[in-house]
């Protein structure tokens, strides 16, 4: 019998945002790999082995999962959100590219999930309603110069920006520096959305402006959406405003 590997997106946290396809793959797996807090979200099942790991060992985790699949087991490797967005999907591809030929012959599936920027956007309206791009602010795997260049290029071209990994204990200043950089291209009134732990019990969503964005606390569980010059608010009685980016127009480009 040949083994297989499913690289599964769990979505941002709410169980209702797990796709039926992902749920079926998790139920069928003999072994589960993943960052421990993500594995904790998967309901326990008799006869299933769990291999939790910490956040830093992505490539090793991918290799272990591939080894077990190559030994004939049905393996699932989980990611928060979508596995292809700043997550395990690319680590698996990298491990296969560098690994033994046998891994290329394996049955491997990537099962998509709701990525954080879509969940955060859905909480406030349609900030990603027109052209946008996604950027990780983590300079662990690329240089800060590259990040600044991409922020400049994206903001000056009129893209809305979804900022993943905005801040961590080891990277305390990057988000403030990014806002400073973006203020060179965008008005102070540009809407900024902070979505923290969306879909989980401790969810918090805040709408601010680029001018006052430094005053809002963000952490590792926060995704930040910075509007373009076209992004605007629609006021509503007794409800939070809608944030949206119109589908037409060339503002900011």
**Binding segment toward ligand SAH, per CB under 6 A, in 21-29, 79-87, 150-158, 228-236:** 79-87
How far apart are CB 49 and ligand SAH at their closest, in Å?
24
Contact 69, 3 (CB under 8 A): yes
Selection from 24, 28, 39, 22 nearest residue 4 by Cα: 28
How far apart are CB 133 and ligand SAH at their closest, in Å?
15
Number of residues that bind ligand SAH (CB under 6 A): 25
Q: Which residues pair with 134 in a beta bridge?
A: 162
Closer to ligand SAH by Cβ: residue 85 or 230: 85
CB-based burial, 157-172: b 16+ in 10 Å, e otherwise = ebbbbbbbbbbeeebe
Closer to ligand SAH by Cβ: residue 216 or 220: 220
Closer to ligand SAH by Cβ: residue 133 or 220: 220
Residue nearest to ligand SAH (CB): 81
Q: Which helix (H) or strand (E) holds 196?
A: strand 191-196
Q: Which of residues 24-63 bind ligand SAH (CB under 6 A)?
A: none
Site string for ligand SAH, 200-219 (x = CB under 6 A): x-------------------
Q: Which residues pair with 49 in a beta bridge?
A: 31
CB atoms closer than 10 angstroms to residue 112: 18
111 in contact with ligand SAH (CB under 6 A): no
CA distance 157 to 228: 9
Site string for ligand SAH, 141-180 (x = CB under 6 A): -----------------------xxx--------------
**Binding segment toward ligand SAH, per CB under 6 A, in 57-65, 80-88, 174-182, 184-192:** 80-88
Options 33, 38, 86, 159; binder of ligand SAH; rule CB under 6 A: 86
Contact 225, 192 (CB under 8 A): yes
How far apart are CB 114 and ligand SAH at their closest, in Å?
8
79 in contact with ligand SAH (CB under 6 A): yes
Q: Given strand 125-126, what is the order of strands in its sheet?
A: 125-126, 239-244, 232-236
CA distance 186 to 161: 12
Options 80, 112, 127, 158; binder of ligand SAH; rule CB under 6 A: 80
116 in contact with ligand SAH (CB under 6 A): yes
CA distance 52 to 16: 23
CA distance 244 to 202: 24
| Site residues (vs ligand SAH, CB under 6 A) | 12-13, 79-82, 85-87, 115-116, 120, 164-166, 195-200, 220-223
């Amino acid at each position: 019998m040949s083994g297989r590997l499913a690289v599964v997106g769990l979505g941002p946290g709410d169980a209702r945002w797990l796709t039926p396809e992902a749920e079926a793959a998790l139920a069928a797996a003999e072994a589960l790999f993943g960052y421990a807090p993500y594995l904790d979200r998967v309901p326990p099942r008799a006869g299933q082995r769990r291999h939790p790991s910490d956040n830093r060992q992505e490539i090793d985790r991918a290799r272990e999962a591939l080894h077990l699949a190559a030994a004939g087991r049905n393996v699932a490797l989980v990611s928060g959100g979508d596995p292809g967005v700043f997550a395990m999907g690319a680590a698996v591809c990298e491990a296969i590219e560098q690994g033994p030929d046998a891994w290329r012959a394996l049955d491997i599936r990537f099962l998509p999930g709701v990525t954080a920027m879509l969940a955060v956007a859905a909480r406030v309206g349609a900030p990603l309603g027109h052209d946008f791009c996604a950027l990780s602010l983590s300079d662990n795997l690329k240089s800060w110069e590259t990040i600044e260049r991409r922020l400049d290029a994206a903001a000056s071209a009129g893209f809305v920006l979804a900022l993943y990994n905005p801040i961590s204990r080891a990277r305390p200043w990057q988000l403030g520096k990014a806002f400073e950089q973006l203020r060179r291209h965008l008005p102070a009134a540009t809407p900024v959305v902070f979505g923290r732990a969306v879909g989980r019990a401790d969810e918090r969503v805040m709408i601010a402006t680029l001018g006052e964005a430094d005053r809002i606390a963000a952490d590792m569980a926060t995704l930040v959406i910075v509007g373009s010059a076209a992004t605007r608010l629609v006021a509503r009685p007794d409800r939070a405003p809608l944030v949206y980016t119109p589908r037409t127009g060339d503002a900011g480009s």
